[in-house]
Amino acid sequence: MSTLLEVSGVSVSFDGFKAINNLSFQIADAELRAVIGPNGAGKTTFMDIITGKTKPDEGRVVYGDRGDSLLKMSESKIAQAGVGRKFQRPTVFEDQSVFDNLMMALKKTRGPLAVLFFKPSSEDEDKVAKLAAEIGLSGALHRKSGELSHGQKQWLEIGMLLAQDPRLLLVDEPAAGMTPAEREHTTDILREAAKTRAVVVVEHDMEFVRRLNCKVTVLHEGSVLAEGSLDHVTKNEQVIEVYLGR
Ligand SMILES: Nc1ncnc2c1ncn2[C@@H]1O[C@H](COP(=O)(O)OP(=O)(O)OP(=O)(O)O)[C@@H](O)[C@H]1O
């Protein structure tokens, strides 16, 4: 499997405090990865660097088949290049139906002019139906999104990101506030999504990470402390000390 994203030797300081310290990270196409670490480990800043929100002081961030540097690109250019990000709080359009939210997300992939003159084809309707099935909302297609449970809103937002067909999807704490059954379904969605794209999941919940059943990267003080299977990293003495032993 070829490398899709390579972060090497990246550091960033805020007012002299090194939030990211010589961090290196790689992910392949169609790989699922969990990123864990205690509060303040640098997980959010790490994602901010990939999406272009924060520019590092040093290091390289190389992406895609041509090895483009993401550091030279704006946030919107990075998004256009196929990097999608899901924040913790869902931001679906509550007054619109699930169907309309997914359809709008499909439109967005076609640029501003296409949005103005957009007429959904039956092909688009099929795509929306397929996305709804992928996120487990086929039965709720015509419900107002505002009426959905917290978990369902999160799934809808994942579906809206998938509608844009990202090559790399970054997901921030998807399990927060979910019921155990919703968490299970969320791991299924993410595992399925990672069959055709790279998915990075930042998560605190260990049971959730165990169900993801993927390679885990442990961050601590802005660097990678350990990497490997969950069983491997949870046996690491340093990991136990800084994170799990608390
Ligand atoms: N814009 C900023 N200005 C100053 N300090 C910052 C800024 N952004 C992050 N930090 C600091 O950098 C460190 C890393 O923060 P970050 O939010 O990336 O950690 P995190 O692993 O996502 O934590 P959490 O699990 O609590 O969300 C923290 O000590 C934080 O206070």
Q: Kindly report whether the global pTM for this prediction surpasses the value 0.80.
A: yes
Q: Which long-range contacts (CB under 8 A, 24 or more apart) does 205-214 make?
A: 205/175, 205/176, 206/36, 206/230, 206/234, 206/244, 207/183, 208/174, 208/175, 208/183, 209/34, 209/36, 211/183, 211/184, 211/187, 212/32, 212/34, 212/187, 214/31, 214/32, 214/33, 214/34
Rg (CA), the chain: 18
* Minimal-distance CA residue to ligand 1 atom 16: 42
Nearest CA to ligand 1 atom 4: 14
Q: Quick one: CA torsion of 206, 212, 218, 224, rounded to 10 degrees? A: -170
Cα of 46 to ligand 1 centre, how many Å? 9
Of all atoms in ligand 1, which is nearest to the CA of residue 37? Answer: 21
Structure tokens at 131: 């996305």
Nearest to 196 by CA among 171, 163, 165: 165
**Ligand 1 pocket mutation, candidates 10, 36, 44, criterion most atoms within 8 A of CB:** 44
For a substitution probing ligand 1, which of 14, 171, 203 has the most ligand atoms within 8 Å of its CB?
14
Q: Could you tell me the distance, in angstroms and rounded to a whole number, from the CA of residue 53 to the centre of ligand 1?
A: 13
Domains for the chain: give ranges and CATH numbers. 3-244 (3.40.50.300)
Cα→Cα distances 92→41, 107, 140, 153, Å? 29, 15, 14, 7
What is the full per-residue pLDDT of the chain (246 aa) written as tens digits?
Answer: 689 999 999 999 999 999 999 999 999 999 999 999 988 999 999 999 999 999 999 999 999 999 999 999 999 999 999 999 998 777 899 999 999 999 999 876 656 555 556 667 788 999 999 999 999 999 999 999 999 999 999 999 999 999 999 999 999 999 889 999 999 999 999 999 999 999 999 998 888 999 999 999 999 999 999 999 999 999 999 998 887 565
H or E element that contains 184: helix 180-193
**How, if at all, do strands 198-202 and 32-36 pair?**
parallel
User: Does any ligand 1 atom lie closer than 6 A to the CB of residue 40?
Assistant: yes
Q: Where are the beta strands (DSSP E) in the chain?
A: 3-14, 17-28, 32-36, 58-63, 68-69, 83-86, 168-172, 198-202, 215-220, 223-228
